[in-house]
Each structure stands twice: as C-alpha cells, then as structure tokens.
Amino acid sequence: MILGAIDRVIEGLAAMARAHAALPMLARTHGQPASPTTLGKEFANFVHRLRRARERVAGVALTGKINGAVGNYNAHCAAYPGVDWEAFARRFVEALGLEFNPYTIQIEPHDCIAELADALARLNTVLIDLDRDLWGYVSLGYFRQRVAEAEVGSSTMPHKVNPIDFENSEGNLGVANALLRHMAEKLPISRWQRDLTDSTVLRNLGVALGHGLLGYESCLKGLGRLDADREHIGADLAENWGSARRGGADRDAPLRRGRRLRAAQGSHARQAAHAGRARRVHPHAADSRGRARAAAGDDAGGLHRARHRARAADLMRRAQRGGSATGGTDRR
C-alpha cells in the first residue's frame, strides 16, 4: 500500500515533467530571479530523487527470529536435543518471507524497522520539499488550481483558491517524520537482553505510516488540480529578460547605478561651487540677476538645481534597492 501510493505520486510527477518539458520558466535562487530553466525539468528533478528514495525503502530487508527467552536455544535443546534448532528456525522464518536473524536478544533488535523508518523519513522529506515548491509556484501564479463543482476555494474569501492539498500533505508528512525519526533512533536500543521501551513506541508505527499515506494522497490530489499558466510564466520570464539573457542576475547593475549617482552628486557640487565663486567675484551683479529672476518669476538656475536634486534622490533610492540584493558572499 505504501509503495503503491509512492509510485502513483512519482507517475503523476513524471507525467507533468513530460507535459511541460519544453515550457521555459524563470528559475529562482535565494528567492531571486536567476537563469532560465523549464518547468518540466524541475518536475523531473523530483522524479529522480523520489525514485532513488523509493529504492531505499523497497530495499530494506525485514528480519525475524524464533528462539528462547534471551535469544538462545537452551530450552529447545533440553527438550529435543537431537533437533538442529538453528536450521529449523531459519527454515521457519524464511518461509514467512523474512530474512533470518541468527543473533538476537529476547527480542529481534528492530534494526530493520529503524532502517525502514529512516528510509521513509528521507523520502517524506523530498516530498515536503516538493510540496513547498509547488505551494510557492501557485503563489507566484505559475499554476492555476481547478476547483471542483460546488467547492469553495477559501472558507472566507471565495474569490481565491488555497493550495490546501500541498499544505495538508506537508503537515501529515511532518507528523509522520516526527514519529519515524524517533523510531529510527529509539528502536535499536534495548537495555541488556530486554526492556519494554520499544513496546510503546512500536504501537505508533501504524500512526506514522498512516500520516505518511495521507501525505502521499494529498500531494497526488494537488497535482491533479494543477494547470500551468503559460502566459503568466512567460510574462515573468520576459520581465526578467535582462537577467535571463546574461545567464544570471545582473551583478553590475548596482555598480552602474552607483556610478550614475556619484556623477550626479559631483555635477551638483561643481555647479554649487561655480555659483559661489560667481557671487564672490561679482556680488552686486549676482544679486541684481537674482533679484531680476525672482521679480520675473523665472529663476532658471533654481529650477535646474531642484530638478537635479530630485534626479539624484531618485538614483539614490534605486541604488539602495539594487544594492540590497548584493549582500553576502554567495550570490549564486
């Protein structure tokens, strides 16, 4: 049942990868526009990861044993000394489809269950990554979600459709992983030849698998409701064509803005210095011209400086917005 549900999710993703293999899309690194990719390739990434994780889950060998109170054949040999009890135990266990474990304490050490729990948790983590990516793409408008008849997209705002399937998937897989991770760490540990700490934990194995199954089914349901918005995806790529054409973010843009800003500030300073020298050399003429301009209501110099200051302030704001994207050392 678990492997079947996982297979259905992988098949759904593979179909999406094929359907959108040639659809260009703007990739994002660190949440910022990056180089182009294709929508199909991003689905194919998850197909490959999930197939590998699925192989790890399917490859876990479940082990079994049948022996005495502390893992030996003391009582068996005392009762029937002529029987090869280890060979008998091996035949019995392997007939059940299990791998025989010849060395145990009172209980089978649960190493195989811990291995299975860890493999499932790693697969679930890949699916949580997928759920969050698809949630983000829906938020960006890259996908439209089909609404079933008589279904409301939001309990309080029916004009929108919430990505609840991916949210439910993520939540259930998170609960499953909380239990599975604990089992992977706890179950191999038993004091000396037996304690009961494994018993209460094992009772929740079905709970963990159940939450995982709900997560797989919710993810698959969400995939079935997605329609790629090709127009919106293309428009987003076109708006960032400068970054896409250069094969990445325009790292020199903040530098160019800074150079323009410094040039504007330098020009303004030179004009102010020139005006100050003119006033010192011809104070009366400067005052007369100033009074004449003020009287005529045509102070061209003041208007020019006001425009220049506004332009410099605008460049400063643009440089600050662009410069914030260059922080840190890893800009990939």
Two tokens at 62?
């479940």
- Choose the catalytic residue: 30, 48, 282, 304: 30
Query: What is the distance between the terminal CA atoms of the chain, rounded to a whole angstrom?
Result: 41
CA distance 118 to 136: 27
Between strands 226-228 and 99-100, the pairing is: unpaired
Check: CB of residue 45 under 8 Å from CB of residue 52: no
- Choose the catalytic residue: 139, 154, 267, 288: 154
What per-residue string of b and e applies to 139-161 under the rule 16 or more CB within 10 Å gives b? eeebbebeeeeeeeeeeeeeeeb
For CA atoms 321, 326, 327, 332, the dihedral sign is positive
Check: CB of residue 43 under 8 Å from CB of residue 219: no
154 annotated active-site: yes
What per-residue string of b and e applies to 8-38 under the rule 16 or more CB within 10 Å gives b? ebbebbbebbeebeebebbbbeeeebbbbbb
218 annotated active-site: no
DSSP string, 282-325: SHHHHHHHHHHHHHHT--HHHHHHHHHHHHHHHHHHHHHHHHGG
Q: Active-site positions?
A: 30, 154
